[in-house]
Structure 1
Amino acid sequence: MKKIVCKRVFHGGENRVSMRFPYDSSLIRITRSIEGARWSRSMYSRHIPGNEKIIERLAGLFDGKAILDLSAIMPVLPVESRVHEAEDIKGKDLGAEIVSDKAFPLLGDKSKADIERFRKWLEVNRYPESTVRTYTGMMSTFLKFVSPKEAEECNSEDLIRIVDEYILPNGLSYSFQNQMASAVKKFYGKIYK
């Protein structure tokens, strides 16, 4: 698989993301499909608009087609927020920041069963594997955060609380917050109707 190196640049008076990779017609075709994508002779690379959803978008477009090096465009988190655990990493896609939730209690059997039901519902309804991983990872974090409450005891105040007490203090992105809200909304819309 070819590697695409992404880097934030200021080009033509705009914030852009340059994408450098060896010539590959299929990767070029995918890149051209991104709205606002252009070729720069001076940078000798393709570049796309550098908006806040770009990491998520690139991860979806190039999943299984190329290796993305997003290190130059990922937000930099404080050292204490960069604790990686194998379980945390396994459940999230390229667009999600990883912050250790080891300070939270472990999931109970009921919560684990709820997450497994949610995973099966997503798979049966043919959600992409990356979405299944992201949503179940987000729900795991959410249920650990609200513990000792069980899923059926939670309400919208708990979602507000996780934003105020976990997402914002840890410097997690707007994209992470949206993924969390989407996962919680889908979980309660389908598992606890």
Structure 2
Amino acid sequence: MEWRAKIITHRGERRVAVFFKKDDILLAQIKRTTGARWSQSLTVWHLPDTDENRKSFGLPLLSELRPSEEGFKSLEKFKLWMRSKRYSESTITTYADAAKSFLVFFNEKPLNEITNEDIVLYNNGYILRNHLSASYQNQVVSAVKLFFKTIHDRKIEIESIHRPRREKVLPNVLSKEEVKQILEAHSNIKHKVMLSLIYSCGLRRAELLQLKPSNIDSKRNIITILQAKGKKDRITPLSPKVLEILRDYYKTYKPTVWLFEGHVKGERYSEQSLQSVLKHALVKAGITKPVTLHWLRHSYATHLLESGTDLRYIQELLGHSRSRTTEIYTHVSTKSLQQIKSPYDDL
């Protein structure tokens, strides 16, 4: 059987083109493939660019591809540029991985030939085809815009790159009863105080693990959170009830460097172990919802709002840069909704 296959762009879409001499068996196989089309102008049969079709015709899978040498070198420069701008390591990793995904898709195209149309092609040919989320698509757009800002010889117009419409996803919120069940599930005081601090102070996971004993001011009942998301410091009130169990924890474990350390003194408690702490609490509490640590932060903000705390203070406590980010909690607060009487009750 004599044939060859290659990736082509046809009418703004990536396709697997199959070139072959007359072969009834191969032709029948291609015709049976979903999405197969004949191009009169190119005089070739072409199929959707999927891993299944790539595998069938001996082409490397997208997951196996690497950026071109030019792309790889540019990615390394991109990382150095972000470090010089003091981006956090987690942001550098996220942006570099997103930009790499884009460059892999165009690994045979010189960077100075990539245009805005290629971003549309990537969105349709990779993100949408693989049913990836709008938030991931938005992440890639942010990474690509920043990446091409560091490349001067380019055809791409950065300001013309459009973003996907944001999904209107409401934060997940637990009831106070559910929160209490989770916080009381563990008998281990270390596990108990970690979860209690996340909820009682609205902390992000990384913020909790970055805490040092010196960040706790027991006389003023506050916690200082240093260099959190966006390189911002902030303070948050410390509950007297949480301070009590925090003191018991400190006497028992005597942390040295970090407030919460692993089995080895001086080593920070791992994110994976913290997630495991929550997972076991959910099992013990009999809660089957897919709760994450961030749900506790969302619940903290919503419960504050329902108790009458001004939205501006909640914004400060959470460390949000924009009030719009905090306003989403007004959509999940049930305080006003509970005061609305259903017309069904008057029937």
Could you say which TM-score interval applies, normalised by the shorter chain? 0.3 to 0.5
Q: TM-score, normalised by structure 1?
A: 0.45
Which structure has greater helix proportion? 2
